[in-house]
Structure 1
Amino acid sequence: MPRTKNTKQYAQETAGFGVPKTTAPHHFIVEVPRGNNQPVNITEDLGVAVEDRRHEVLDRVVIPRRNWTEIQAAVKRAFNERLKAHNLATGQWKVGTVPVDRMLGKELCVLGWAIEDMRPEEARYALRNWLALRPEERWWLFDMVAATVGGPEGKGRGWRMALRYALGDTPEATVRNARFGDDIQTNKKKPDSEPNLGLFTDEKE
């Protein structure tokens, strides 16, 4: 009796990084050119409008190829972990057009806007700080940029410029030592326990 190949059953059939295979879904497109020195372009496809059945595509960000090389592996790993958690097929970056789920695409744009004018070594810092953000934080940042300076003409302005400094201008985490107040200067001994208002305890009076 011939053996049957086991195929994994996913929660939904998708393309690229989590884009549902439905009629013209809202998603992002990452265009990776064949040339090693050509930039990577990210656009947002809003899907087919019901009224006129035409696609509306918005240009979002162009990432220098060297910076894309710095981030692509870590971004793929982060996105695929999320897809696996929702029982969806994983994706791969490849030459040509790669569709990306609309929420993941928003997060990628936030990183892209931050690194679009950075040196590659700065892009590594931005990647690390971007990975430390929660998805909800990345979505909020996307909405703030997209509402004002999310197109090609917005480069280097407003929230878009703020992302560059917020994510790329912090090379190492800084831990600051607390400055002691009057208790140390006057050699006063602090009590072993601090009084509280009982807001964070189950103790009853």
Structure 2
Amino acid sequence: MSKIQALGFGYIPEETKHHFFVVIPRSQNQKIAVYERFDWDDSEVQQSDIDYKSLKVRIDKHKWDLVKDPLQQEFNNTLRENNILVGRFKIGEIPVDRLLGKEMVLLLWAIEDSDPKLIPVALKNWLGLSREERWWLFTMTNAVTGQADDKRGWRKAIRYALTENPIDDEKHKQLNIFDLFK
């Protein structure tokens, strides 16, 4: 069975126009921008209807570089499970499936204003959430503070929940029944 063709990370324009759009500039000084879009023009090499109102988050290259590979791995695992060709984050414009985009933006919101040293904790906590939990948290946050510069309320709560709430591996270790008989 052949893999399903998709653009970027799982985006199939024939199925839906709703997607997220990551713009990765060549310059190290420019920020990565993520837009939520509801239109796709197959005739254009570069999508033109990108505007500030659809901008969800901007993040500096250093923080992006810290999460890019784990994001890519998590997304590609999901795509493989669904028999869809995998993607890669590279310089330029990358469309992302709407559900994967929600998960990505949630993580980026958590780290956008955090100390880079907290990013491993954010990744661990983000990976500890189910996909459905990530979608729900994105939806709740987006409903109130979904614009790029609106960093209050739910947006702050997401940052604290994912970056300043480290999972203690020892406390959360599953009980092995055989350990009781040692």
Give the shorter-chain TM-score range. Answer: 0.7 to 0.9
Correspondence for 2:126 among 122, 125, 130: 130
Correspondence for 1:96 among 92, 99, 102: 92
Aligned residues: 162
**Greater than 6 Å deviation, 4+ residue runs:** none
1:164 aligns with 2:121: no
The one-character-per-residue Cα deviations of 1:135-191 (angstroms, maximum 9, x if unpaired) are 000000011111100002312x00000001000002341629xxxxxxxxxxxxxxx
**Cα gap change, 1:45/1:141 in structure 2, threshold over 3 Å: closer, same or farther?**
same
Question: How big is the shift at 1:125?
Answer: 1.0
Task: Answer whether contact 1:27 1:100 (CA < 8 A) is retained.
Answer: yes
CA distance in 1, matches of 2:15, 2:140: 28
Between Structure 1 and Structure 2, the one with more helix by share is: 2
Question: How big is the shift at 1:24?
Answer: 6.7
Task: Answer whether contact 1:46 1:56 (CA < 8 A) is retained.
Answer: no
Partner of 2:68: 72
CA distance in 1, matches of 2:148, 2:86: 30
CA distance in 2, matches of 1:107, 1:170: 18
Task: Answer whether contact 1:46 1:55 (CA < 8 A) is retained.
Answer: no
Correspondence for 2:10 among 1, 5, 18: 18
Query: What's the TM-score once normalised by structure 1's chain length?
Result: 0.73
Task: Answer whether contact 1:111 1:130 (CA < 8 A) is retained.
Answer: yes
Whose radius of gyration is greater, 1 or 2?
A: 1
Query: What's the TM-score once normalised by structure 2's chain length?
Result: 0.82
CA distance in 2, matches of 1:118, 1:104: 22
**Amino acid paired to 1:124:** P
Gaps of 5+ in 2: 41-47, 173-182
Identity %: 40
Gaps of 5+ in 1: 1-7, 49-53, 177-205
Task: Answer whether contact 2:35 2:57 (CA < 8 A) is retained.
Answer: yes
Correspondence for 1:39 among 17, 31, 48: 31
The one-character-per-residue Cα deviations of 1:4-44 (angstroms, maximum 9, x if unpaired) are xxxx712x321000000428721000111101232111000
CA distance in 1, matches of 2:104, 2:65: 14
Helix, strand or coil for the counterpart of 2:165?
coil
CA distance in 2, matches of 1:26, 1:56: 13
CA distance in 1, matches of 2:30, 2:57: 14
**Amino acid paired to 1:159:** W
